[in-house]
Structure 1
């Protein structure tokens, strides 16, 4: 089981607003496609046995983004 708790989500509905650009630049906004990629990547790693199936927590945008770099 993995628990993802992102900050503000940027929903990608049409043209990105200045506030969404700013929040992504400053790190407190996370695009939903990035969150989805991290969730899929984590599920694949669990299925392949690369990580244990014990509860894993990704709290905040930086740990979520970092999980994609593993």
Structure 2
């Protein structure tokens, strides 16, 4: 809430789509996977990977999330 969302403007700039350049977002300790799902929806051109000791339910997740 302090930064006004899930990520800062600087992160948004870094993750902008640049044709020919693949980008990956890695969420270590993703818990429920809510943040990873939000990032996958906000940045569909990026590959998003969520990792946690407990498996997350990604039944309705975007295709760029694993």
TM-score (norm 1): 0.27
Rg larger in structure = 1
More relative contact order, 1 or 2 (CA 8 Å, 6+ apart): 1
TM-score (norm 2): 0.28
